[in-house]
Chain A
Amino acid sequence: MQLVTSPVRTSRPQALAIAADLKRWWDEECADWDATVAGTDPTSIPTGVDLWDDMPTVDSKAIARTSPIFERHLGLPLNVKFIRPGGYTSIDDAIADLVPKMDAAAKDKLGLKVRKGGES
């Protein structure tokens, strides 16, 4: 399995695994668009309006769609309150912001379950 170097603040293997899945998901999101652009004749559609409109961006809707990845690894859906207002500049920016927050949230939930004697 190829390791992905992401700017996460924790070196825990689980955080790296989450980052790798997020990066893989984003690469798949972008691959379709890149292929569409490559297959389009620039001279036939001069400005490519629809193409730019369809360009994947790391905005709140895109990030919301990563919730299943967090749930698969941490047992928690993404807490949307963690999403930075205004979105992110890149997938690495989003990973660096959200993975530590979700990691901490999962720890808090685990600590709560332990204090309650294992009740969910």
Chain B
Amino acid sequence: MDKLDTSHPTVRALELLVPEVMVAGGSYAAWLPHPGTVPVENRAAMMGSARQAAVAHCVRSLLRSVGVDENAIVGVGEGGERMWPAGFVGSLTHKGTVVLGVIAPVSSAWMIGIDIERTDGDLAEVESSIAAEGLAPGMDPRTARLLTFSAKEAVFKAQYPATSRFLGFADVQLLWEAGGACMRAAVRCPVQGLNVRAAQVGRWIVSAAISIDHTDT
């Protein structure tokens, strides 16, 4: 398998959202044949195998970007969180043929979580569960629901390493700011100091939850 396609628009979108951290990732679509040439019963396994390799590739890129040996072990904790090298925080996300990752020394960001979603599938039936506080203004409701879902997923991932606590959608309220190419929201949740930044690029929504201010702990 070759390199990830770092020209995928979600990579640049994430770099613009969180300039405080190092970003890696891209698309591994070129690693896969057309799905019509793959037997139905083999498609999920093929996609899973490619995704696993892409995630490993992304992790190595992240480690190199901060001067850590790319072969360092980044295990998975009991809560599904990645165990980054001491002194660093990071986060990974993947959807479709795209994998994205971020890493930063704790001096730059002490909590970070990212999420990527496709703008397919409607969450209308669960809106009251995922967005009890209301949706972001100025957006069509379908996109706004996905935005809320993605942003809260990023919050869940950002806070878990610090709290070891699973949150539900009702535990997090997003207070969206109006306007701007980058959508921003203040976060109300059991952990202080997080804020959300998100962007839609084509059929993708990329979200990040980040805390860069240690005085809010």
Tell me the complex Cα distance, A80–B153, Å. Answer: 11
Residues in B104-143 with C-beta less than 8 Å from chain A: 117-118, 120-121, 123, 125-126, 129-130
Tell me the complex Cα distance, A41–B30, Å. Answer: 17
Residues in A1-56 with C-beta less than 8 Å from chain B: 34, 37-38, 40-42, 45-49, 51-55
Nearest Cβ in chain A — how far from B161, in angstroms? Answer: 12
Check A40–B120 contact: CB distance below 8 A. no
* A residues less than 8 Å from B37 (CB atoms): 42
Enumerate chain B interface residues (CB-CB to A < 8 A). 27, 29-30, 32-37, 40, 43-44, 47-48, 76, 79-81, 95-98, 117-118, 120-121, 123, 125-126, 129-130, 149, 153, 166-169, 203
The interface residues of chain B, by DSSP majority, are classed as: mixed
Given A47-B29, A49-B97, A85-B79, answer yes or no on A55-B130 (Cβ-Cβ < 8 Å).
no
Check B123–A81 contact: CB distance below 8 A. no
- Chain A CB count within 10 A is highest, among B80, B118, B126, B203, for B126
Looking at the complex, which one of B79, B97, B126 makes contact with A65 (CB distance below 8 Å)?
B126
Enumerate chain A interface residues (CB-CB to B < 8 A). 34, 37-38, 40-42, 45-49, 51-55, 57, 59-62, 64-65, 67-68, 77, 79-81, 84-86, 89-90
* A residues less than 8 Å from B47 (CB atoms): 52, 55, 57
Check B34–A45 contact: CB distance below 8 A. yes
Looking at the complex, which one of B35, B79, B120, B203 makes contact with A48 (CB distance below 8 Å)?
B35
Check A61–B149 contact: CB distance below 8 A. yes
Check B129–A47 contact: CB distance below 8 A. no
Looking at the complex, which one of A52, A57, A85, A89 makes contact with B32 (CB distance below 8 Å)?
A52
Tell me the complex Cα distance, A53–B76, Å. Answer: 25
- Minimal Cβ-Cβ distance residue in A for B166: A81
Looking at the complex, which one of B32, B80, B95, B166 makes contact with A47 (CB distance below 8 Å)?
B32
Nearest Cβ in chain A — how far from B10, in angstroms? Answer: 11
In the complex, besides A47-B29, A89-B48, 18 extra interface pairs with C-beta distance below 8 angstroms are A40-B36, A42-B37, A45-B34, A46-B34, A48-B34, A52-B96, A53-B96, A54-B96, A55-B35, A61-B117, A61-B123, A64-B130, A65-B123, A65-B125, A67-B129, A81-B166, A81-B167, A85-B80
Nearest Cβ in chain A — how far from B106, in angstroms? Answer: 22
* B residues less than 8 Å from A84 (CB atoms): 80
- Minimal Cβ-Cβ distance residue in B for A41: B36
Nearest Cβ in chain A — how far from B196, in angstroms? Answer: 17
Nearest Cβ in chain B — how far from A23, in angstroms? Answer: 15
* B residues less than 8 Å from A86 (CB atoms): 76, 80
10 smallest beta-carbon distances between A and B, as pairs: A85-B80, A53-B96, A48-B34, A42-B34, A49-B29, A42-B36, A81-B166, A86-B80, A37-B35, A67-B126
